[in-house]
Structure 1
Amino acid sequence: MFPQTERLSLRRFRPEDAPALAAYRSDPAVARYQSWDHPLPVEAAEALVRSYAAGDPGEPGWFQYAVELKSEGALVGDVGVCLHENRMQAEIGFTLAPGRQGHGYATEAIGAVLRELFEERGVHRVSAECDARNLASARLLERVGFQREGLRPEFTWLKGEWTDDLLFGLLAERWRALTP
């Protein structure tokens, strides 16, 4: 139930992940389009790690995968999956440490999660959304096969301003057509 790639292990969070989680979630550029405030103190990261570790990826609700670079044994990001109560739909979100961006890790991690959702669990549809200003995330979602389905103008009140949300979706049929 925990996806793997040649370079990455997606796994349950462990207590020793808290400092790395605090570091990348404290970066203003990483937090800019996310719902959390920065900096993220290590104590708060420890509580998040405990909460994430207690989750069950097979049950409805959010489960946060730790993304570990195998060659270093280092936490480089996380991918969240919210499984719908019907277990046929899911939503994803992702965060990657700034020094690890631009190496294909997020594309690889999301691809592994999508493969697991569509091929192992039989999910019919996966959705995602992002701040419309977050062009890198929008491009990443499109690169892995998501289609832009909509724009919600001034939909989210985030960090003192109204933001536009881009909506994306990916159906299992499209995933199968795009996957060799």
Structure 2
Amino acid sequence: MLLETPRLVLRRFRIGDAAPLSAYRSDPAVARYQGWTAPVPLDSAVRTVREFAEGSLETPGWFQYAIELKADGCLVGDVGVCLHENLMQASLGFTLAGDRQGHGYAAEAVGAVLDDLFGRRGLHRVSAECDARNTRSARLLRRLGFVQEGLLRQASWIKGEWTDDLLFGLLSADRQPLPGTAATTG
């Protein structure tokens, strides 16, 4: 366990996560605004989970947290953090299984990661971006305190079309944790 909230454990990925990762990333609605294409075959998910498990929280680059429900130990999503070379900034992204959306899990998981990045790690800034049509992700980022800093018109060629990207930023000084989502580290 790396982080814990009242309902979630955010931990390192393990090989047993390949099947549930394949399942939620194979949902066309979940994959719609992401860089991968559904379905995600199990052999591809095994490779992805192995790569995620090798990531480091301490060095620049991507680290992927597995989001596990405490209630049943089920993997329901992931939060990715890309620590910048200066170790004072990061970018993040998140994915949640379609049947687990709308219950506050994404806010709880991303909030816990932000608390860790700004609190224990002392980062100055975290950024995020999303497809402009992904209104649920944009709404979540705003709820967590992110400020929309820009719109890149037709900036990404994804899945055969040009898409607009929304750019968000959050400074340590502006971070206000959501009630009931406090994280502990382990």
TM bucket, shorter chain = over 0.9
Give the structure, 1 or 2, with the largest relative contact order (CA under 8 Å, sep 6 or more): 2
Alignment-derived partner of residue 97 in structure 2:
97
SS in 2 for 1:79: strand
In structure 2, C-alpha distance between the alignment counterparts of 1:136 and 1:172, rounded to whole Å: 23
Specify the code of the residue in structure 2 equivalent to 1:120. R
Residue in 2 that maps onto 1:50: 50
TM alignment of 1:49-128, pairs within 5 A: 49-128=49-128
Kindly report which structure 2 residues correspond to 1:1-80, keeping only aligned pairs within 5 A, or say none.
2-80=2-80
SS of 1:153's equivalent?
strand
Structure 1 segments of 4+ aligned residues over 6 angstroms from their partners: none
Mapped to 2, the partners of 1:137 and 1:34 lie a distance apart of 11
User: 2:164 is matched by which residue type in structure 1?
Assistant: D
Per-residue CA distance 1:81-102 (angstroms, 9 max, x = gap): 0000100000000000000000
Distance 2:113 2:56 in 1: 15
3-state DSSP of counterpart to 1:10? strand
CA distance in 2 between partners of 1:6 and 1:58 (Å): 25
- How far apart are residue 131 of structure 1 and its match? 0.1
List runs of 5+ in structure 2 lacking aligned partners: 180-186
C-alpha distance in 2, partners of 1:70/1:49?
20
Q: Which residue of 2 aligns with 1:158?
A: 158
Residue 147 of structure 1, CA deviation: 0.6
What TM-score, normalized to structure 2?
0.94
For 1:99 and 1:42, locate their aligned partners in 2 and report how far apart those are by CA, in whole Å.
20
Sequence identity (%) = 66
Q: For 1:108 and 1:152, locate their aligned partners in 2 and report how far apart those are by CA, in whole Å.
A: 28
Amino acid at match of 1:160: G
> 1:97-153 deviations in whole A, cap 9, x for unaligned?
000000000000000000000000000000000000000000000001101000000
